[in-house]
Structure 1
Amino acid sequence: MARRSKADNSEDDKDRALLARVATQDRMAFESLYAKYFSSLSRYLTRLLRRPEMIEEVVNDTMYVVWQKAGTFEGRSKVSTWITGIAYLKGIKALDRLRMVPEDGAQTLSEEFDLEDANDVIQKLGLEEWLRSGLHALSADQRSVVELTYFSGFSYQEIADVMQCPVNTIKTRMFHARRHLAKLLPVLEEHTLVDRIPDGVLPGKPDVHRSSGEGKRKPVGSRKL
């Protein structure tokens, strides 16, 4: 798991304190936690569900579970990871009710893909629009992995905790998500977004500088946008 910064630890400590109060049915603490997470959960669920009319309902369902189950939080993950995991499960159930969940088509990943450091590309070159443009082509699970990686700054281990599956499954979903997004390049190129993607970032776009040692990406100090 990626190292937590002091700021991350501080925020998580505050969340843990609020959650402990929520476990005692402290309504003011719950309102504070609700207000803090409403926007981030809404953004996440907007991309996962793609149904604006469902967002607030699923956010409320998520936070209702937080209210009911706060006392069961064991502290093995960050509070934000725990709450996002509840939102993911509620979102998938909502999609399932609408019979909108496509098959993931996951296969065994034969190679290791280190995409953790690609977040700086998104940040520096403004490729959020490119990713959002292609999310409609992905399965719900693949959308969730892309959303949590690039827009929420989660590590693969944290995403695995959210989705309750092995880290290798997360890597597999990211691999297939990248393949699907790469197929959209001819369409998205019309919007001049692809021209700004450095060599080697996407499959099918060779890194012409790699052999000479140029163009290597530097490690990312922070995964958050």
Structure 2
Amino acid sequence: MKRWRSGSQQGTQADPKASDERLDIAALNAVAAQDRDAFDQLYRRYYPRLIDFLTRLVGRAGLVEEVVNDTMYVVWSRADSFAGRSRVSTWIFGIAYKQAIKRLEREGRHRTERLPQDWESWAPNVGADSEISKLQIQEMLDKAIARLNPTHRSVVELTYHFGYSYIEIAEIVGCPVNTVKTRMFHARAKLRRILGVLARRE
């Protein structure tokens, strides 16, 4: 593994992301040298973020923990393969995504979910003069996002919840940027069907 310096990534001293990246690069360099303390630090830094991401992607708590462990085992054993072409977080999330998809495929759960026939019943039963709260809209979105297949759901979550760019998401999920855009288009179209019900009832 090439020893990546903090200056190998764009950023300034005042940029929190640049500061985080320097810490990640230093830790990953040490992990590549089999430094267990550095691995423990990296594990603690990424554990809550991976739990959040994988819970949104695969759902089941027991499976989430297994995928986190699988992910961090790959980080430990392949730290020297990090090439520095992306942020460390992008690299680790990419490993997590691939491990999650493998698990879902193994369990036969990686399939496209159609919205149920009664999907309109998810919309609150309100009159024309009623206001729909942000909480209700968020609940609707959460239910809709949960119905997306993992490939579409991951693009939505990585974009809106974790703030990754399409280029970074392409690195994470291992596909061209245009494929990421296509997946987002289809995900938005499905979500828009539900939000359209809300708009008509306002």
Verify same fold: TM over 0.5.
yes
Q: Please state if 1:132 is matched with 2:125.
A: no
1:89 alignment partner, one of 98, 105, 120: 98
Is structure 2 residue 191 aligned with structure 1 residue 181?
A: yes
1:75 paired with 2:88, answer no
CA contact (8 A) 1:137 1:180 kept: no
Offset at residue 71 of structure 1 (A): 0.7
Q: CA shift at 1:128, angstroms?
A: 5.2
Please tell me the residue identity of whatever aligns with 1:15: D
Q: Which whole-Å deviations, capped at 9, do the CAs of 1:183-202 have from their partners, x for residues lacking one?
A: 22366x3xx9x96xxxxxxx
Percent identity (aligned)? 49
TM-score (norm 1): 0.70
Matched, 1:141 2:145: no
The separation in 2 between residues aligned to 1:58 and 1:128, in whole angstroms, is 27
**Consecutive unaligned residues in structure 1, runs of 5 or more:** 105-124, 196-225
Deviation at 1:13, TM superposition (A): 1.1
Provide the aligned C-alpha RMSD in A: 2.2
Q: Is the 8 A contact 1:12 1:78 kept in 2?
A: yes
| Secondary structure at the counterpart of residue 94 of structure 2 | helix
Query: 41, 45, 56: which is aligned to 1:36?
Result: 45
Long gaps (5+) in structure 2:
1-9, 114-133
How far apart are residue 129 of structure 1 and its match?
Answer: 4.2
Match of 1:116 in 2: none
TM-score normalised to structure 2 length: 0.77
Tell me how far 1:50 sits from its aligned partner: 1.7
Could you say which structure has the larger radius of gyration? Answer: 2
Aligned to 2:67: 58
CA shift, 1:7, in A, is: 1.4
2-side partners of 1:177 and 1:164: how far apart? 18
- Tell me if the contact between 1:88 and 1:163 (Cα under 8 Å) persists in the aligned partners: yes
Deviation per residue, 1:57-97 (Å, 9 max, x gap):
10000000000000110111000000000000000001001
The answer for the alignment partner of 1:11 in structure 2 is: 20
Letter of the structure 2 residue corresponding to residue 148 of structure 1: L
2:126 corresponds to: none
Q: CA deviation at 1:133?
A: 2.2
In structure 2, distance between residues paired with 1:64 and 1:36: 15
Q: Closer, same or farther in 2 for the Cα pair 1:128/1:157, shift >3 Å?
A: farther
Equivalent residue pairs, number:
169
In the TM superposition, what is the alpha-carbon distance from 1:131 to its structure 2 partner?
3.2
Inter-partner Cα distance in structure 1 for 2:18 and 2:138: 27
State the alpha-carbon separation in 1 of the partners of residues 20 and 84 from structure 2. 14
Q: Contact (CA 8 Å) 2:145, 2:153: kept in 1 or not?
A: yes
Q: Flag as ranges the 4+ runs of structure 1 deviating above 4 A.
A: 125-130
Residues 179 and 4 (structure 1), Cα distance of their counterparts in 2 relative to 1, 3 Å cut: farther
Amino acid at match of 2:34: Q
CA contact (8 A) 2:112 2:148 kept: no
Q: Secondary structure at the match of 2:185?
A: helix
| Counterpart-to-counterpart distance in 2, 1:33 and 1:179 | 37
Retained in 2: the 8 A contact 1:19–1:29? yes
